[in-house]
Amino acid sequence: MVDEYSMNLLRALMALFTMSVSMLAQTAPVIPLWPAGSVPGALGDSTNDAPTLTVYLPEPGKATGAAMVICPGGGYGGLAQHEGKDYALFLNREGVACFVLKYRLGSHGYRHPIMLGDAARAVRLVRQRGSEWGVDALRIGIMGSSAGGHLASTLVTHFDAGDPDAKDPIERQSSRPDLGVLCYPVITLGKFTHQGSKNHLLGANPPADLVDFLSNEKQVKKDGPPVFLWHTLEDKAVPVENALMFARALREAGVPFDLHIYEAGRHGIGLMSPPPLFENPHPWARDLVFWLRSKQFVK
């Protein structure tokens, strides 16, 4: 039985840990994807028009050299912190450097291809500047939830090798992620889509060929990166068919993947355990770490 002194000590230590994590979050550096005044397709000069990366680095002794660009969900109309910063802090514990992407949104007037351009630029930037953060250029993944999962899956299926003749050294880098992590993702823009995400991404009445182009179950390449994806059967906002369709396409293309379907759970659950301690996170987090270990992203 724990005495009162021990309980008070435990509470004090937890409070100190919470404060430390909070200070880390407050001081996490934010870097622009492009220099001010040169953001392609910008509609203005507010913070809504300036995509950024927030950098969360693991403790030096834990760092594995792997990195993850994280795309929060929010229906292409907002950005959910628990699918960005929380994931970053969780993966930091496993030694992964994380870069949370603030991409431009349909709610601020943006449409495709702006979002894909932001995600591609993020991977290129981390690859080009990785030595600053101790990142291996060949171990850079992309992770996304819900609409952020659509964005991540779009880059997984629409990457390029970069422009070797570009004046900007970042643009010479490949945008191909070395792996993808998709959490209850929007994949299709067809029958099983999330209509709000589709509207924010493409606007009203988009042409059929564009809908097909961004229905990512139709765009899987055989040279695409391996993918970890999970969903819940009870998800009423983004049907589980999205993950199942993508897994089938990966299988047919011969791309390695790890698929997890959990029976229970609403949409947008994230880790189901906030920082600082991440006590009892959803099983997908444990399964992801197991998979990342097999990919040499964690030890």
- Return the half-sphere exposure (C-beta side, CA atoms, 13 A cut-off) of residue 206: 21
Residue type present at position 97: A
68 and 181 Cβ atoms separated by less than 8 Å: yes
Q: In which element (H, E) is residue 17 found?
A: helix 4-27
CATH code of domain 43-294: 3.40.50.1820
d(CA 110, CA 57): 30
The 10 Å CB-count burial string (b at 16+, else e) for 71-91 is: bbbbbbeebbebbbbbbbbbb
Per-residue pLDDT of the chain (299 residues; tens, 9 = 90+): 445 544 444 444 444 444 444 444 447 999 999 999 999 999 999 999 999 999 999 999 999 999 999 999 999 999 999 999 999 999 999 999 999 999 999 999 999 999 999 999 999 999 999 999 999 999 999 999 999 999 999 999 999 999 999 999 999 999 999 999 999 999 999 999 999 999 999 999 999 999 999 999 999 999 999 999 999 999 999 999 999 999 999 999 999 999 999 998 999 999 988 787 788 899 999 999 999 999 999 99
Q: In which element (H, E) is residue 258 found?
A: strand 257-262
